[in-house]
Amino acid sequence: MDLTDAQRQHRASEASRLIGNVAFVEAVANLDKTYIQAWRNAKTVEAREDAHRYMMLLNRFSADLKAMVFDGAVTDKRVIELEGRKRSWLG
């Protein structure tokens, strides 16, 4: 998906706010504990595999949010550099 710099920055801001939200952090931690417990207590191979899949999906979800924040930080830096170049060229 091609996003503008402003869209990347907005998305990063929203992801950062979400990652920092206490209720969200607690919910993710609780899901992680639940999936680990389900994996440990699984009585069948299928149940163990399902729990493992859920754990991997939760990790991927968290990693994707962190990547959005990182992408926004990189975009912020690039925008600042471009604005600095524009000013020096005009000045």
Tell which residue, 72, 51, 90, 81, has the closest CA to residue 3.
Answer: 72
| Statement: residue 90 has pLDDT above 80 | no
| Statement: residue 85 has pLDDT above 90 | no
Q: What does the pLDDT look like over 5-46, one tens digit per residue?
A: 889 888 889 999 999 999 999 999 999 999 999 999 999 999
| Burial of residue 72, with CB atoms counted within 10 A of its CB: 0-12 exposed, 13-18 middle, 19 or more buried | buried
What pLDDT band is residue 75 in, cutting at 50, 70 and 90? Answer: confident
Q: What is the mean pLDDT of residues 67-79?
A: 85
Looking at residue 55, its pLDDT comes to: 97
Q: What does the pLDDT look like over 53-68, one tens digit per residue?
A: 999 999 999 999 999 9
